[in-house]
């Protein structure tokens, strides 16, 4: 293991930093791609502050939107963990806006991995590539055979991008003879390694800032970032993982339950947390004029059962509870001083 080098794309992302930390702790060498030298130096400092051996970390510059740097980044890497993908703080109006970076980037990474002779590629996808746009007739049971319907009118641009990117990667990997695994988590929360919260922590941040006094009657799956990172590390070498799509969820919480989990962890924020549940008709009316509300309205009254048994059996996935993951997120945001608004940023 000490001689194995792992290419980690989008290494400055929230989940990717945890993957990098766990890979370094496990004795791997890590080559992480970032878009700028500044992001690379910040990543090195973050990992060093968390007691990682950064002498085993290399930084490579590469951007999802360009060809430059990918072949060099993958050269000499035994396995690839592709995590880079655009995750905006707000959904764009153009349904296809995120596809060029997500899909094009995935294809560039698959091609570079195959050219480098990598033995396996693990791709970070999302439940968004599985569970959306099915309509009310769907059973609501979501597993590895399910794909989101990108033609549905209420599917978000993010879900479209994740679905198209993952599907394209599977096709390209098969054509190239590259072993592939996908990891499809629900909403990922948990402790920060630095003061950059990223987009996936926005729900907890908005609640702590008092921006969500009333919430729709919807639920979401949650999973701790440390458990997601451990699944990625396991997928790089686990027997029986190749060719599989692993859904990761620790359990489902309503938005009011999320608020209660935050309040239990950081009681001083309770006055800012959600106090009311919005009537469904209000959410549906909002969806007529607010694009961001359309995908929310589509989830009203739709319960889902997320099948995570394959991840437990093959990857040893044994997650913390969603309440614990949410509490860890709130505590970390407070301790890192990351509750206050930091503006929008591109996450990859």
Query: How high is the pLDDT of residue 89?
Result: 62
Query: How high is the pLDDT of residue 289?
Result: 63
Alpha-carbon 186 to chain mean position: 8
Q: Is 344 inside any structural domain?
A: no
Half-sphere exposure in the Cβ direction for 329 (13 Å, CA):
34
Q: Is 272 inside any structural domain?
A: yes
Query: How high is the pLDDT of residue 117?
Result: 97
Q: Is 291 inside any structural domain?
A: yes
Contact 71, 115 (CB under 8 A): yes
Query: Three-class SS of residue 31?
Result: strand
> Mind giving me the DSSP string for 118-141?
-SEEEEE--GGGTSSS--TTS-SE
Query: How high is the pLDDT of residue 174?
Result: 97
309: domain CATH number is 3.40.50.720
Q: Is 343 inside any structural domain?
A: no
Active-site residues, by number, are 162
Rounded CA separation 164/47 (Å): 32
Q: Single out the residue of 79, 78, 77, 97 nearest to residue 87, CA to CA.
A: 97
Q: How many domains does the chain have?
A: 1
How far CA 110 is from CA of 14, 92, 115, 218, in Å, comes to 22, 26, 9, 36
Q: Which long-range contacts (CB under 8 A, 24 or more apart) does 2-5 make?
A: 2/27, 2/29, 3/29, 4/28, 4/29, 4/78, 4/79, 5/29, 5/30, 5/31, 5/58, 5/76, 5/77, 5/78
Q: Is 231 inside any structural domain?
A: yes
| pLDDT, tens digit, 9 for 90 and up, residues 253-297 | 999 999 999 999 999 999 999 999 888 677 677 667 666 666 676
Q: Is 288 inside any structural domain?
A: yes
Q: Is 342 inside any structural domain?
A: no
Q: Is 110 inside any structural domain?
A: yes
* Structural domain of 82: 5-335
Query: How high is the pLDDT of residue 97?
Result: 85
- Which residues touch 83 (CB under 8 Å, ≥6 apart)? 8, 9, 10, 11, 13, 15, 16, 19, 124, 232
Residues of the chain with pLDDT under 70: 1-2, 88-90, 136-139, 280, 283, 286-287, 289-295, 297-301, 341-348
Rounded CA separation 86/347 (Å): 6
Query: How high is the pLDDT of residue 304?
Result: 81
Rounded CA separation 209/333 (Å): 11
């Amino acid at each position: 293991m000490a001689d194995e080098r792992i290419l980690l794309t989008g290494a400055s992302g929230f989940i990717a930093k945890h993957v990098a930390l766990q890979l370094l702790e496990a004795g791997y060498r890590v080559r992480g791609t970032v878009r700028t030298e500044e992001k690379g130096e910040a990543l090195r400092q973050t990992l060093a502050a968390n007691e990682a051996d950064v002498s085993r970390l290399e930084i490579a510059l590469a951007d999802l939107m360009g060809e430059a740097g990918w072949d060099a980044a993958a050269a000499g890497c035994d396995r690839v963990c592709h995590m880079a993908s655009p995750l905006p703080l707000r959904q764009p109006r153009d349904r296809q806006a995120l596809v060029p970076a997500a899909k094009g980037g995935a294809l560039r990474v698959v091609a570079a991995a195959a050219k480098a002779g990598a033995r396996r590629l693990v791709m970070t996808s999302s439940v968004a590539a599985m569970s959306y746009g099915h309509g009310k007739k769907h059973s609501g049971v979501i597993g590895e055979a399910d794909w989101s319907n990108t033609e549905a009118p209420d599917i978000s641009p993010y879900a479209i991008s994740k679905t198209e990117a993952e599907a394209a990667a599977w096709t390209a990997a098969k054509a190239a003879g590259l072993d592939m695994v996908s990891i499809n988590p629900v909403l990922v929360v948990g402790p920060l390694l630095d003061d950059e919260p990223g987009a996936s922590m926005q729900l907890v941040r908005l609640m702590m800032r008092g921006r969500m006094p009333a919430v729709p009657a919807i639920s979401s799956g949650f999973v701790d970032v440390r458990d997601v990172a451990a699944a990625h590390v396991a997928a790089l070498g686990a027997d029986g993982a190749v060719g599989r799509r692993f859904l990761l969820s620790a359990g489902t919480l309503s938005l009011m339950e999320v608020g209660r989990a935050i309040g239990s962890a950081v009681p001083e924020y309770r006055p800012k947390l959600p106090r009311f549940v919005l009537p469904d008709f209000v959410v549906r009316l909002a969806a007529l004029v607010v694009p961001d509300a359309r995908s929310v309205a589509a989830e009203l009254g739709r319960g889902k059962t997320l099948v995570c048994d394959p991840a437990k059996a093959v990857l040893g996935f044994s997650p913390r509870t969603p309440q614990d993951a949410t509490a860890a997120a709130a505590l970390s945001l407070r301790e890192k001083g990351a509750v206050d608004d930091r503006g929008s940023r591109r996450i990859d």
